[in-house]
Every structure is written in structure tokens, then in C-alpha cells.
Amino acid sequence: MAGEPWKTIQQRWRNHGLQMLGVALVATLIAAACEYADLLKPAERMAYDQALSAFAGDRGKSSHVVVVAIDQPTLDAISQDEGWRTNFGNWPYTRTLWARIAEELQAAGAKAVLFDAVMDERASDESADLGFAQVLRELHLPFYVGMVANGTAAPLLRADFQAPVPVAAPEAAPAAPAAPAAPAADAFPEEFEDGPATATPTLTPEALARALAFPAGRTDGQPLPPLQYESSDGMRPRYPVPPTPALVGAVDGFGLVDTEADPDGFMRRTHFAYTDGINTYVTLPVRLVADLLGAKEVTLSGRALHLGERSWRVDADGSAALDYGGMLHKRYPLVSLKYVLNDWILRKNGKAPELPADTFRGKVVVIGGTTPGINDIKATPFSSTEPGLVKQAAVVDTLLAGAFITRLPQGMDLGLTFLVALVSAVLLMTARWTPLEVGWPVALVGGLLVVAGLFLKTAHTHVLTAMPALAGIGASVAALAFNHLVANRETEFIRQAFTRFMEPKLVEQMIRSRQLPRLDGENKEITAFFSDIRGFSTFSEHFKEDPRQLVRILNTYLTTVSGALLREGGCLDKYIGDAVVCLFGAPMDQEDHAIRACRGALAAKAAVETLRVEFRQKGFPDVYTRIGVNSAVNFVGNFGSDQLFSYTAIGDGMNLAARLEGANKAYGSGIMIGPRTYELAKDHIEVRELDRVRVAGKTEAVTVYELLALKGRLDADLQHTVARYHEALALYRQARFADAVAVLEAEAARAPGDGPTGALLERCREYLETPPERFDGVVNLEK
């Protein structure tokens, strides 16, 4: 029986393999069409966010990037301190503050500073811009500032990176801007008093283009993404907004800080370089890291980003998803700006800073706002209210020591989608199990999210979820429809096929309860019924001159026997001439199949007895019937050829039932049942143990019984006969044949019509005359 499920699976694959492939292919094509028509993008973004936050959101603190936060405590501290407010004003603060922060970060050993803001408006006090620029020139701290692009900015000249930078120096270097008063009573050092204002240095268009642009390109012939925006008359170009002229030449570099948000407003991806059709520009993190790595240009080739000798895997379009590694406060050390400013004051007054000495040493410092009051709150997969600087920090950290998240190649996505669809179709069309049909789509989506999350965590690879999920669910729905179509066809087939062989109400009950037989076959325990008319050859010979009368009589007989069996829930297997074959326990499961078969056999015998009386009155031959009943595990299902097949059973149990029917002749019994039938029905029937027999081809002997009546319905005379028979049978098995003969002769005289008594008496007399050479009390039951 262990191999039957596998046989069923193989048969269903053979019968419906092409349909399974077709369902998977169609589901894949539909899902792919939806994916490439961007219909699945919202669902894919949601799935990506869930997988990323669930599996790749705890990478620990970065050891390469520190964030200096312009947070609410900083805003409060500056607004509440008169000295600080006088020197730095209200937000946005004067550039004097950033000069002091730059000085402190260099003193603390910072590797470079990324200022996540733009400085494209001149300060009301021009000396603040000039002083800030002068401090940056004098420091050895790389300092990078953001820039934006819009449709109202003027195009720049084409940058010539081979020519020297034509920038005129200022006429006189300004003194550093005034410093704020210390929080305590300490005064600022005198060297930070206000100095004289000077003119802004001359800035040529060539120098501006050279300062803002950066060499970038693709070696695979593909274009860089354009800087553009959508207007009422189509896509229009955007150009960089120039920074304050005083900072050009003082700041180490400028880079784009556009949000690069997806249509839903979430920041998930970044490009590394853009073009406005005139020059190429890189994002601010790329500009900073390019200098740290000594790269003179940014190169994209195929699925790789190159900066100097370093490379990173990116997507084919030159973009990549950001590996945030978690929320900002969990991923990066955060230092409030007010503590950096306070340390500068302490250091200038000859006191030790309060922040740990290694807070900034050897690290890139990202300066930006973290409070909603600065209006730089963006959405990421981890939070809808993250500070925008988290994007810059994530890109810098990845470029320094990490990997971007990239997509699987398109072919692999399609392959995975087809695989999911095929597994869904094969699984559901093979199993045809309702709980699986209900639970599989849920398990499928959950499993795909887990797979996507594991790929994100371990391989930094974005495996599409929405397209395979749609294909899998589509294939599941199609498989479900197919299953119901097959089930409906099988139901109709069963209704048409079995109504002729079973009570119609039982057929409908079987269909309603979904106890549909497996027409492709199964091993199950059933009880088989065989019956035959004694001397049918003589019976048919009587009607050789009138065959139609024979047919009418035979039909009457078969209808009588069949009706008795059907009323007990039997399934008529076949008619073989005058023989009737009936199954109990199949196709409909019946736990009491043995009991039903016994009741059916007794009912059939009683009905035939009534019919015999009618036939005698009409002068017809006798229709004495012998019956064999046996219970066993048999293989039941549709058997036959392409031209003709029927639902039946095969197996040793069926053979024994047929042998028992024939063995009635030797024992003079009417209904003989096998040992398993007796075991299953013994509490409901009255029997006589007839003998132990060995079937032809078998070595093991079995005990057979004569079925006499239902429990409690055996009359007293027959009970006496059965008791004497059992007494004689025990003597017979002890080879005490003379004693057995004495018992049997006495009972035969009392009940001369009892067939089994006469049969055993004859055998015992034979053994008295000719003792057997080897006696084991077992009779060989010939074919």
C-alpha cells in the first residue's frame, strides 16, 4: 500500500502533465506581462520593504560613518543661548557655525565631511561666506556640499577637465568670522574676532562648470540617466543650481542630493551619475568617496560601478537599491551638533573635549538634519519618517565597505516565476486535497517573502516577489478550476456509472460526502460476494428450445438477487451468466462492509427461496443458489481496455470468495464466508465453523464458516445441529474418526437434510476405511 500514492502521482502526471505545463506557462506569461507593464510595482515595493525590514534590518553600528545631527536639542540650545544665537542666528544658521564645526571635526581626526544640504544662496553678511571659505582652504579636512538641479537654472558650459581651474584669488584673506559665546562664562579667544570684509573672488563660467561636473560615463554604450522633469509639454531638462561663488574652490567637491524617490515617495534606490546633456554629475556620496579612493572618474560597465580600482555590483541600468541596514539611529552613531560645537569651544579655551577621542577619528562625518523642523524627513523601507541624510550615510557606508542590493537578471526572475507556477500547478493538480488548495497560496506568498528576505540578507540580491507570487496564485487558481472540472466530470461519470450498480441514494450520498472512488485504482479492504445457480447447465438445457424464456427467467433471478444486495449498500460488479459478483466497501467507504455483505447474502438467499417456490409452481427448474463471501484487501478501480472498462476489484481476496462459492457444493452449505469476514462480523451473525481449507496455490490454511442467520435469529433445531457438528469436527481434527462418525450419524438421523453434517460424515467414513497417510485436519480446496 505504501507505493499506491506514488502510483497515483505518476498516473496523474502522465494524464495531465501537458495541462500542468500549460497552466504554468500561461500563468508565467500573464505575470510577466503585468510586471513589465509596471502593474505589479506597488505590490513589489511593499513586498521588498517587508522582506528588507524583516531580514536585513539589523546590521549593527557602522564603523565607517558618523552622523552629526542637527536635532531638536541643537535647535533649542542655539535659540536659548544668547551668545550662540547672536553669532549663528536662527535656522538656517550662518556659515560661521559650519566653519567652527569643520575646525572641530578636523581636530577630532575626521576623514571627510559630507554636508547634506545646499549652499546656493549668499549670506546677508558676505564676510561669513568668505570666512567660511577661508577656513575650508586652510583646513586639511575634505569637505563636500550638496547641490540640486531644477528646470529654471541656466545650463553650464561644457567642463574641460584638462584645463587649469581659472579662479581668481580674493584680494585679501578675511579673518575668521566671530565665534559665539561659550555656554559657560569663558570668553572666545581673541583670534576669532570679526575681521574686515573682502570681495568675493572672481568666478568664471568655466571654473563653475569644472567645480560642479565630474567625469562619468558608461563603457557599454548605454546612456547615463538624464536630469529632467515632467512638464505640461513633456520632459524638460534640469540643470544644477550653482552654489555660493565664495565656496567654489574652497569646498572639495559638490554632488547631487536629489531625493531619488520612487513613485510612492520612498527612497529605495540611487543612481550614481547623471547627465544634463552637456556635463555629467555624480551624487554627493560618490563625489566624496571618489576623492578618498583617488578616482578621477566614475565608470559604469554592464552591471558594475568602478571608482578607481574599486568595483561594486549594480543593476543593468546603472542604479542599485540601498542597503540601509536598519533605521538611522540603530545603524549609525549619532552625535548632536551642539556637542561638537561645545567641544570646539572647550578646545579653543584649552580644555579637553567631552566627546570620546575616537568618535570621529578616521571616519566620514555626515552632517544633516534629523528633526522634523528642518523639513528633511523622508520615507524608507524601515520608516516613513526617517531623516533624509540616511540615504547619504547608507551610500557612503556601502561605497567604503559594503555591497549594494541588486536585482536578479531578468532571465532568472522569469525562471523563478515559471518554477513557482509549475510547482503550484503540479502540486495542486496532483494532490487534489482541499486543505492544500486553501493553504497553498498563503504558504506560497509567505515562502517567497522568506526567500526574498534571505537573499537580501545573505547575497544583497533582490529576488522579485510579486511576479512569482502572481504566477503561483494564478497557477493555483487554474489548478483549482481544473481540479473542480475534473471532479465534476468524475462526479457525473460516477453518477452515470454507479447508479446502475448501486442504490441511487447511496450514489448521491457518496457524491455529497465527497467519498468519490479513485478511478485510477487503490488498495482497500472490501468484502466480495459471489453467487451461482446450482446446475445451471441443466437449467439452461431445459430451455434450449425457448431461449427467450431462459432470458426472462434469468433476468428475474438476477433482479431478485441484485435487489437484495443493493438494499444493503452493495455495488454490483458484474454478471457472469447466472453468477452475481458484488462489492461491499467500494466504491463508497463502508466501515461495516462485512456486516452488510452478510446481511445481503442472507437476504439474497431468502429472496431466492421465495423465488424457488414460485418457479416450482410454474414448472420451472430449481434455482438453488450457492454463495461465497470473503473480506480482504484488494485493488479496486477501473479495469479494462480503451474500448471497454469497468469498476471492479482484483486480488487474492476476490479469488478466495469465488472458491468459497464453489466449495459450498462439497460441504452441502448455502453461504460460505472467509475468516476475515467472520472476524469483522462475528458479533452480528450466527455461523457454523465448517472446516480448515487450503486454497490451491497457497500453503497457509484458513478456517471457513457457514453463514446461517443474523445474531439471535438461529432456531433451536439448527443450533442443536451446529453444536453436534462442532463436536464431531473437534473429534475429526483429532483423527478420532469413529467417534466423529457416531456423533454425526446420530445427528444425521435427527436432521437428515443438513448438508454439512452429511458431508463430514461421508469423509469420516472414508478415512475409517482408508486412513490418510498424513492427516493435518486441513482439506485442499481445488480450483
For 574, the enclosing helix (H) or strand (E) is strand 571-576
Is residue 308 located within the same domain as residue 399?
yes
**Which of 348, 381, 406 is where one domain is finished?**
406
Long-range contacts of 718-726 (CB under 8 A, 24+ apart): 720/747, 720/750, 720/751, 721/747, 721/750, 721/751, 721/754, 721/757, 722/688, 724/757, 725/688, 725/754, 725/756, 725/757, 725/760, 726/688, 726/689
Q: Grid cell 584680494 — which residue? A: 171
Is residue 401 located within the same domain as residue 422?
no
**CB atoms closer than 10 angstroms to residue 753:** 9
For the chain, give me the number of helices (H) and strands (E)? 23, 31
Span 321-376, pLDDT tens digits: 999 999 999 999 999 999 999 999 999 999 999 999 999 999 999 999 999 888 88
pLDDT at 124: 74
CB 557 within 8 A of CB 578: yes
pLDDT at 488: 62
Span 740-781, pLDDT tens digits: 999 999 999 999 999 999 999 999 999 999 998 889 889 987
**Which of 406, 423, 447 is where one domain is finished?**
406
Domain range for 759: 715-783
Checking DSSP bridges between strand 280-282 and strand 273-275, what pairing results, if any?
antiparallel
Q: What is the 3-state secondary structure (H, E, C) of 617-645?
A: HCCCCCCCEEEEEEEEEEEEEEEECCCCE
- Give me 242's grid cell: 550653482
Is residue 197 one of the residues assigned to a domain? no
Is residue 503 one of the residues assigned to a domain? no
How far lies 389's CA from each of 257, 362, 399, 428, in Å? 9, 20, 16, 48
Q: What CA–CA distance (Å, rounded) separates 164 from 179? A: 35
Return all residues near 234 (Cβ < 8 A) that are at least 6 apart. Answer: none
Checking DSSP bridges between strand 143-147 and strand 112-118, what pairing results, if any?
parallel
Residue type, position 714, single letter: L
pLDDT value at 643 more than 70: no
> What is the number of domains present in the chain?
4
User: What's the mean pLDDT in 51-77?
Assistant: 94
User: What is the dihedral angle through the alpha carbons of 137, 140, 142, 148, rounded to the nearest 10 degrees?
Assistant: -10
Closest Cα partner for 661 from 754, 537, 576, 555? 576
The CATH number that applies at residue 666 is 3.30.70.1230
Q: Percentage of the chain surpassing pLDDT 90?
A: 68
Assign residue 298 a region: left if phi > 0, alpha if psi is -120 to 50, beta otherwise?
A: beta
Q: What CA–CA distance (Å, rounded) separates 158 from 209? A: 7
Tell me the residue length of the chain. Answer: 783
Is residue 304 one of the residues assigned to a domain? yes
Q: What CA–CA distance (Å, rounded) separates 134 from 176? A: 7
Q: What CA–CA distance (Å, rounded) separates 461 from 450? A: 13
Q: What CA–CA distance (Å, rounded) separates 611 from 624? A: 10
pLDDT value at 177 more than 60: no
Q: What share of the chain is helix, strand, coil (3-state, %, to 5)?
A: 45, 20, 35
pLDDT at 230: 87
pLDDT band at 489 (very low <50, low <70, confident <90, very high): low
pLDDT band at 506 (very low <50, low <70, confident <90, very high): low
Return all residues near 553 (Cβ < 8 A) that are at least 6 apart. Answer: 543, 615, 620
Q: What CA–CA distance (Å, rounded) separates 131 from 558? A: 117
Q: What CA–CA distance (Å, rounded) separates 129 from 136? A: 11
pLDDT band at 564 (very low <50, low <70, confident <90, very high): very high
Q: Grid cell 536630469 — which residue? A: 227
Is residue 203 one of the residues assigned to a domain? no
Is residue 400 located within the same domain as residue 414?
no
Is residue 606 located within the same domain as residue 652?
yes
Between 597 and 2, name the one with better pLDDT. 597
pLDDT band at 227 (very low <50, low <70, confident <90, very high): very high
Return the minimum-mean-pLDDT range out of 49-63, 632-646, 692-706. Answer: 632-646
Both ends of the chain: CA-CA distance in Å? 28
Span 450-485, pLDDT tens digits: 999 999 999 999 999 999 999 999 999 998 888 777
pLDDT at 180: 43
User: What's the mean pLDDT in 160-184?
Assistant: 52
DSSP helix/strand/coil, 370: coil
Return all residues near 511 (Cβ < 8 A) that are at least 6 apart. Answer: 491, 494, 495
Q: What is the DSSP string of 313-369?
A: E--TTSEEE----S-HHHHS-EEEHHHHHHHHHHHHTT---SS-TTSSTT-EEEEEE
Return the minimum-mean-pLDDT range out of 141-150, 337-346, 610-619. Answer: 610-619
Is residue 505 one of the residues assigned to a domain? no
Is residue 68 one of the residues assigned to a domain? yes
Is residue 381 located within the same domain as residue 412?
no
pLDDT value at 13 more than 80: no
Closest Cα partner for 238 from 298, 160, 319, 148? 148
Is residue 172 one of the residues assigned to a domain? no
pLDDT band at 162 (very low <50, low <70, confident <90, very high): confident
pLDDT value at 397 more than 50: yes
- Give me 61's grid cell: 553600528
Q: What CA–CA distance (Å, rounded) separates 690 from 757? A: 9
Residue 457 has φ and ψ, to the nearest 5°, of -75, -45
Q: What is the 3-state secondary structure (H, E, C) of 381-447?
A: CCEEEEECHHHHHHHHHHHHHCCCEEECCHHHHHHHHHHHHHHHHHHHHHHCCHHHHHHHHHHHHHH
pLDDT value at 1 more than 60: no
DSSP helix/strand/coil, 656: helix
pLDDT at 186: 45
| Mean pLDDT taken over the chain | 88
Is residue 15 one of the residues assigned to a domain? yes
For 473, the enclosing helix (H) or strand (E) is helix 466-498
Is residue 248 located within the same domain as residue 121?
yes
Residue 626 has φ and ψ, to the nearest 5°, of -105, 145
**CB atoms closer than 10 angstroms to residue 739:** 16
pLDDT at 587: 81
Is residue 663 located within the same domain as residue 580?
yes
Is residue 631 located within the same domain as residue 751?
no
pLDDT value at 228 more than 60: yes
pLDDT at 762: 95
Span 24-41, pLDDT tens digits: 999 999 999 999 999 999
Is residue 620 located within the same domain as residue 657?
yes
**Which of 406, 430, 459 is where one domain is finished?**
406
Assign residue 110 a region: left if phi > 0, alpha if psi is -120 to 50, beta otherwise?
A: beta
Is residue 220 located within the same domain as residue 274?
yes
Q: What CA–CA distance (Å, rounded) separates 360 from 362? A: 6
Is residue 668 located within the same domain as residue 775?
no
Is residue 425 located within the same domain as residue 413?
yes
